[in-house]
A and B are shown apart, each in its own frame.
Chain A
Amino acid sequence: MAKKNIKIPLLRKASKSYLWASMLLMVLSTIALFFYVRWLLKQEVEEELFSAEARIESAIKAGQHPGSLSPIIEVNEVDELKTAFTKDTVIYDPSQDEMELFREFSTYKNINNKSYKISVRVLVVETNQILWAIILSYIFIIFLVFVFQFYLNKSNNKKIWNPFFYNLEQMKKFSLLSKEPIQLLDSEILEFSELNKEIALLSGKVRDDYENLKQYTEDVSHELQTPLAIIQAKIENIINGPSVSEVQFNQLASIQKDIQRLTQLNKRLALLTKLENHQYTHRENIDITDLTAQIIANFNEISTISLTFEKTNNIIAKMDPYLAEILCNNIISNAIKHSTHKKPINIEARNTLLSVSNFGLMPIANPQQLFTRFYRETNEFKSTGLGLAIVKKICDLYGYNISYNYIKDHHCFLIDFAPPEAARK
């Protein structure tokens, strides 16, 4: 598993496999060459020995006695004939004054009715030296070729793959927000050219789809507003009309409530879409503590639940002011909505943390789903089910950490306004 996760850059991978293949080839060819040359040399030596022996033999036949030239040539008369043999032997060489390795060929011949043992020897050291000279120069040459090839290959690869790497960078930079089409480097290589075409096609399609979806969501929420406005206006005219019964009025009022809910839902969905599309790019320094204090003052005017606010310092966050307001509003209004027994709500600003806690009899059953859109624990409240999803989306947008805990009969939400880089440290 771990091996799968290791990613190697293309060029290094290519160089690496080239390196391994060349290394293997080099070793194998050197070994083959070694044995082949050794065999050749041995053949050569033996041929030399045979021809020397033949010459001695013909000299003896001609009546000359070549005599001995130890250790190169030895001719002795022997009593019986044995089979010929070749062997390696170590003999004292008086000219070198040391023990040397010789290749020896001995044969027994009956010439002119006399039995001779003819031994010819060749110094092996020389052939060994030749062998090693050949092998070493071979290694040297092949190594040079290999190094040259390696760098040539590398620079070639770099040149060939350059459009690919450039386009990869372009794709990394690709953003749906910019209207510019993706700029790709063309290549003479057919596959790269095809890849470019596909990328251009895909990115164009992605952008079109994104635009369509965005337009669709905007259109839907936009188009819904007008019929809702008509329904609402008509209901108001009916309510103010002459012949409405109490039952009818209550039903109409209930329809008004549902229209209101639908309107809210519409607005919040549009907001969520905008958040998902990263359409809020404006950022300024917002004093979250001040903002929270203002929002609390507003809520205190409309709500009978008391809100307590403790602050030790001012939290400054760099974000869109509109989103900052929605964030604080939603997290507090959520607490108000779900505060059981009208117990007070505690809000606290400390360091970079904003905590909002309200009394609750039981912890949330599925805390992992708390920030999912349309997740509700009960149907008791006619909420849109989007408030916390929006809170989460805003936090995600800026990399703020939000957590939920159930501590001492209290639902506690904690938002950390520390910028994500600082939080990691």
Chain B
Amino acid sequence: MKLLIAEDEISLQQSIISYLETDGNVCESASNYEDAIYKVSLYDYDIVILDINLITGSGLEVLKQLKKEKKKAGVIIISANNSLNDKLEGLDLGADDYLTKPFHLAELNSRIKAVLRRGKFGGDENIVFNEIRVDTGARSAYIQEKPMTLTRKEYDLLLFFITNKNRVLSKEIIAEHLWGDHSDLADNFDFIYVHINNLRKKLTSEGAKYIKTAYGSGYKFTEE
């Protein structure tokens, strides 16, 4: 998979690239507006990660350029601006998703996968991990083709785990993915533990022991 990371903060750009490259993706970078415009018109990408405030211009202009040239790339906007208007403007212009800084790389990763899965990019709605199959269209999961009964949060959790397989996920990252702005609530009563435990039980009862504890308090979804 080929990605373009258009972000003027080199530190952040490099962190995103090094995170995404471990999955075997090819990542290119653009550090300013001109660079981004140049690369999107010259090459084809599966995903473009676009900062709205590129130092020499607006990421939204890059998005317009992409749409003008009818490029098939999925676009995820990352912005430091939390305002609803910016979000709506970005999505109206044809962006596929919008993330507000700061975000977790695991979150970005799962958003990228979600964008890719959507039909218009020729993706598959099914994600398969060994005997587990998640049908993202129907929002249901199967283990050895046997449907699993999962709550909404357990389903989200399983999907998040599978899209970020082999990565260490701290409770904070998981909480923010599932709880969003209410993740501080999760902290107080260890709700996460309850949800992860329930999911883990449902998986292990079918012999799928993939949710591993990492470093005592983190989690990792892996075969090893």
Q: Using a CB–CB distance below 8 Å, which chain A residues touch chain B?
A: 221-223, 225-226, 228-234, 236-237, 239-240, 244-246, 249-250, 252-253, 256-257, 259-261, 263-264, 267, 270, 299, 301-305, 322, 329, 333, 336-337, 342, 381-384
Proximity bits, B166-182, A CB within 8 Å = 1, else 0 = 01101111001011011
Pair A303/B191 contact, Cβ less than 8 Å? yes
Contacts A230-B102, A260-B172 supplied; 15 other A-B pairs, CB < 8 Å: A229-B12, A232-B103, A236-B15, A240-B22, A249-B168, A253-B170, A253-B171, A253-B172, A260-B183, A264-B181, A304-B189, A322-B84, A333-B182, A337-B185, A337-B188
Proximity bits, B31-55, A CB within 8 Å = 1, else 0 = 0000000000000000000000000
Chain B residues with CB below 8 A from A244, complex form: 215
Instruction: Report A280 CB to chain B, min CB distance, Å.
Output: 10
Q: A230-B12, A270-B82, A342-B189 are in contact. Are A239 and B217 (CB under 8 A)?
A: no
Instruction: Report A253 CB to chain B, min CB distance, Å.
Output: 4
Q: What's the dominant secondary structure at chain B's contact region?
A: helix
Chain A residues with CB below 8 A from B153, complex form: 301-302
Pair A336/B172 contact, Cβ less than 8 Å? no
Pair A252/B184 contact, Cβ less than 8 Å? no
Instruction: Report B220 CB to chain A, min CB distance, Å.
Output: 9
Q: Which residues of chain B (4-20) have a CB below 8 Å from chain A?
A: 9, 11-12, 15-16, 18-19
Chain A residues with CB below 8 A from B214, complex form: 249
Instruction: Report A264 CB to chain B, min CB distance, Å.
Output: 6
Q: Using a CB–CB distance below 8 Å, which chain B residues touch chain A?
A: 9, 11-12, 15-16, 18-19, 22, 78, 80-82, 84, 100-106, 151-153, 167-168, 170-173, 176, 178-179, 181-189, 191, 194-195, 214-218
Chain B residue with the shortest CB-CB distance to A266: B82
A-B pairs, top 3 by smallest CB distance, nearest first, are: A249-B215, A233-B15, A225-B80
Pair A333/B218 contact, Cβ less than 8 Å? no
Pair A382/B184 contact, Cβ less than 8 Å? yes
Chain B residue with the shortest CB-CB distance to A252: B170
Complex Cα spacing A329 to B215, Å: 34
Chain B residues with CB below 8 A from A249, complex form: 168, 170, 214-218
Q: Can you report 13 residue pairs joining A to B where beta carbons are below 8 Å apart?
A: A225-B82, A226-B101, A233-B11, A233-B105, A236-B19, A237-B19, A240-B167, A246-B216, A250-B216, A260-B176, A261-B184, A302-B153, A384-B184
Q: What's the dominant secondary structure at chain A's contact region?
A: helix
Chain B residues with CB below 8 A from A246, complex form: 215-216
Chain A residues with CB below 8 A from B9, complex form: 226, 229-230
Complex Cα spacing A252 to B104, Å: 13
Instruction: Report A236 CB to chain B, min CB distance, Å.
Output: 4
Instruction: Report A336 CB to chain B, min CB distance, Å.
Output: 6
